[in-house]
Amino acid sequence: MLQAVREVVVVVINKVRTLLDTQSLVTCVWSLLLIIGMTLSNTVMAITLPKDKAEATYHYYDGGGVEVTGPALFVRKSVSDNVSVAASYYVDAISSASIDVETYASPYEEDRTEYSVATDYVENDARLSFAYVNSDESDYQSDTFHFDYQEEFFGGLTTASMGYSSGSDDVLSNVSDFKDSADHDFYRLGLSQVLLPELIIRANYEHISDTGYLGSPYRKSVVNGVLLDENLPRTRRSDALSFGADYFIETWSTAIKTQYRYFSDTWDVKANDFRLSATKSYKTNWIIEGWVRYYGQSSASFYQDQFTSVFNYRSRDKELSDFDSYSLGSGFEYLLQDTEWLEKPSLAFGAEWIRYQYNDFYQYENGDFNQNNNKRLYEFDATIIYVSFSSGF
């Protein structure tokens, strides 16, 4: 069975490559992964199924006038030596009085629910994963299917992976009869290599193709002080290439992880994302983690805080503007004693602070876009907190 999957992997990679107009570095990555896909063979080491696990989490977000709270439940269980199934349930209770809402609409409250089902199948050194995710809220519904394939070779020192996801969204409005749709295709390739017993390096590539309605029926653009509906292109193609390394310092019982990601798309958005984290085992039952992250992007070609003329494509979406964000976070996990029913149970707590600074998106006093003397660049802080309990069984 997996030999047939390998042949499909090669065909898919080849087909995806023909769809992309890539730069030389990306082409080298594609070529390397294609060669790997064609030469994969059985090895001594074997990929194992994810461990049986149950987890309950409560999450909280507060920032920019938006508050999001809710629970999340997850369970995974093996049904045979090489097959496991998983399911999750996630709820967001959203209360929004963000700057967009202040400008274009009234504050609102709504719930978003998401559930997923997944299965994993392993055979020797390879794993197949399938998943379905459904997200539902009053004005947005989405369905996404995921496929991933992973294989180890060269004695387990090298791991290659590929994946594909297909999403379909229905976009509605709570204040009008607006209705539209969007489709999304995600292609993924990954490669990790053990260089030393304590050092692993990684490279990942992702291509996303979006078609359909890609904006918001509530958002407006500003043309000479007048609010008009935004109008975005109905296609968007984006590429992301990331590199990372994991290094374990045995004397400190600490793992250091770094990752850099570069993103670009056909809307002229370009982004740089850097993350550094450290995870340390303390005594016998504490795991402590800390991380810092920087993200910065340029604005889309059709973004302006205010337009002086009516262009075909126009948007004042702050997420398409030029902005930077900085974050600092920490997490703690406490390992509890095993019981008759629970294996390696643990309690975890984490918090993250994020600073957003927009470089060409302004906040206007009383929402009056003609008062240029009473405007300031928009910025805000956000806080994320989570508490969870998990256990094997």
pLDDT of residue 29: 46
pLDDT of residue 299 exceeding 90: yes
Q: For the residues 366-389, what does the mean pLDDT come to?
A: 86
Residues 286, 370: Cα–Cα separation, whole Å: 56
Number of domains in the chain: 1
pTM of the entire predicted model: 0.84
pLDDT of residue 370: 73
Cα radius of gyration rounded to whole Å, the chain: 23
Question: pLDDT class for 156, splitting at 50, 70, 90?
Answer: confident
pLDDT of residue 286: 94
Express as a percent the part of the chain with pLDDT over 90.
Answer: 69
Residues 54, 86: Cα–Cα separation, whole Å: 10
CATH code at position 326: 2.40.160.40
Question: pLDDT class for 224, splitting at 50, 70, 90?
Answer: confident
Q: For the residues 244-273, what does the mean pLDDT come to?
A: 96
pLDDT of residue 30: 46
Q: What is the pLDDT of residues 23-38, one digit of tens each?
A: 444 444 444 444 444 4
Domain with 86, as residue range(s), is 2-392
Average pLDDT, the chain: 88
pLDDT of residue 165: 98
More confident residue, 206 or 45: 206
Q: What is the pLDDT of residues 101-139, one digit of tens each?
A: 666 666 778 899 999 999 999 998 899 999 999 999 999
pLDDT of residue 38: 43
More confident residue, 342 or 164: 164
pLDDT of residue 18: 53
pLDDT of residue 226: 87
Q: What is the pLDDT of residues 69-109, one digit of tens each?
A: 999 999 999 999 999 999 999 999 988 877 776 666 667 78
pLDDT of residue 63: 94
Question: pLDDT class for 350, splitting at 50, 70, 90?
Answer: very high
